[in-house]
Amino acid sequence: MRLAVIGCGGMGTIHASLAARCGFEVVACGDSRLDKAKALAEQHNAEAADDCLALVKRPDVEVVAVATPTPTHGAYVRAAAEAGKHVFCEKPFTRTPEEGEETLAAVKRSGVKLLVGHVVRYFQEFEAIRERVQNGSIGKVGFVKTYRGGIYPRGEGAWFHDYAQSGGVVFDSSIHDLDWIRYVFGNPTRVYCQALQRSDPLDYGMVTMWFDQGLITHTIGTWAHPGGFRVKVEVCGDQGMVTLDSKEAPISAMMRETAGGGPSMIVPGSPVPVSPYQLEWEDFAAWMRDGRTPRVQPEDAVWAVRIAHGALESARTGAPVAL
C-alpha cells in the first residue's frame, strides 16, 4: 500500500524504513521543514512536501504515518481519516483524553484502520513476562514495578522541554509502561503521581495505580540519565517473581554530557532478531492485508492518554485521580 510519512525526524525516519520493509511503498514525505522532508524522500524515491494536511489528501496515498510532535497528532489523524486513509500514529495518541475521544470518533465514522505505536506490547521480553502472568506460573500478582530512564531529549525545536506540549517524561515515556500494565492486568481504577518537572536535565515521575483485584503498580520514569537508556520490570506474585533488567551491570558512575555533546534522543533496542518496531508494522500490515486483529486497538491508545493525563493531574493537585 502507498504510504505518506508525516514528520521526517528521528521516529519518522525509523517508521518509513520499517514500513518499506513490511511491504508499504513510501510515496510522499511531509514535514514543516522542507529540507527534512526532501532528505527522507530521497531515501525512498518519494516526493517531498511541507504542507502535510494537503499531503494526506493526495489520491495516490492510501496510508498515513504520523510521527510529528504529540499536540499535532489529533489534527493529522482526523484529516487522514476524513480523507479515507488508514493511519499509523506514534504514541501518545493525543495530548488530552478529550481530543483522543474526538479523534477516535472521527476514525470510527470514516471506517478506516488506526494503529497507535505502543511498541512495548511488541517487545519480546515484555511479552514473555505477560505470558508468565497469564499462565499462572507466578501465581496471583499483587505488585508490579517498572522503571524507564534515558537522557533528557534535545530534539529539534526543544518541544519536549515545553511540558504543555509533551507532558514531560510521565506523558511521553512512562505512558509506554502504563499502557503495558493495562494490557496485562486490565483497567486501573485510580492513579496517583508525584513528578519533579524541572528544566533540563531533571525530570522524574513516579506513578502508582490501583486495580479492583487488589493489585498495586509503581512506575518510575526519568529523563535524567547522563547517557544511555535503561528499563527494569519486577512482577511479584504469591508463587514467584519475574524480573527484567535491560542492563545487568555493576553500579557505575557517569558524567553528564555537555550541551550538544550527546544524542538528541535514544530509541530503546531489544537484543532479538526482529525489532519490536518492525513487529508493530508487521501487525499493521497483517491488519491491512487479511483483517487480523492487531495487538493495539484504538481504544487502548485513548486509555493510555487517559491514564497519563490523570497522572499529571494528580501530580498537579497532590491527590489521586479516579479513572
E strand intervals along the chain: 2-6, 25-30, 47-49, 63-66, 86-90, 114-117, 141-150, 190-197, 203-210, 216-222, 229-237, 240-245, 321-322
User: pLDDT band at residue 199, thresholds of 50, 70 and 90?
Assistant: low
Pick the closest to residue 296 from 249, 48, 110, 305 (CA basis). Answer: 305
Q: DSSP letter string over 267-319?
A: ----SSSS-HHHHHHHHHHHHHHH-PPPSS-HHHHHHHHHHHHHHHHHHHHSS
Same fold, 2-117 and 123-269+304-322: no
Residue bearing cell 526543544: 158
Distance separating alpha carbons of residues 187 and 28, to the nearest angstrom: 38
Q: What is the pLDDT of residues 221-257, one digit of tens each?
A: 999 888 888 999 999 999 999 999 987 643 333 333 4
Phi/psi at 14 (5° precision): -60, -50
pLDDT (0 to 100) of residue 202:
75
pLDDT (0 to 100) of residue 151:
86
pLDDT of residue 305 exceeding 70, the answer is yes
Pick the closest to residue 80 from 36, 33, 113 (CA basis). Answer: 113
Instruction: Give the pLDDT mean for 185-195.
Output: 97
Instruction: Give the pLDDT mean for 38-56.
Output: 97
Distance separating alpha carbons of residues 176 and 80, to the nearest angstrom: 25
E strand intervals along 67-202: 86-90, 114-117, 141-150, 190-197
Q: What is the pLDDT of residues 254-302, one digit of tens each?
A: 333 444 444 444 455 555 568 999 999 999 999 999 999 999 999 999 9
- Between 45-54, 98-107, 237-246, the lowest mean confidence (pLDDT) is in 237-246
Element (H, E) at 40: helix 34-44
Class assignment of domain 2-117?
Answer: alpha beta
Rg over CA atoms, the chain:
19
User: pLDDT band at residue 196, thresholds of 50, 70 and 90?
Assistant: confident
Q: What is the pLDDT of residues 134-170, one digit of tens each?
A: 999 999 999 999 999 998 887 666 788 888 899 999 9
Q: Out of 1.20.120.1200, 3.90.105.20, 3.30.360.10, 3.40.50.720, which CATH number does the structure's domain 123-269+304-322 have?
A: 3.30.360.10
Give domain limits for the chain.
Answer: 2-117, 123-269+304-322
Q: Enter the C-alpha cell of residue 28.
A: 510522499
On whether the CB atoms of residues 137 and 215 are closer than 8 A, the answer is no
Phi/psi at 43 (5° precision): -70, -25
Average pLDDT across the chain, whole number? 90
The counts of H helices and E strands in the chain are: 11, 13
Strands 190-197 and 203-210: antiparallel
Is the peptide bond preceding residue 298 cis, with omega within 30 degrees of 0?
Answer: no
Distance separating alpha carbons of residues 42 and 37, to the nearest angstrom: 9
Residue 261: is it exposed, middle or buried by C-beta count within 10 angstroms (0-12/13-18/19+)? exposed
For residue 256, what is the DSSP state? P
Residue 181: is it exposed, middle or buried by C-beta count within 10 angstroms (0-12/13-18/19+)? buried
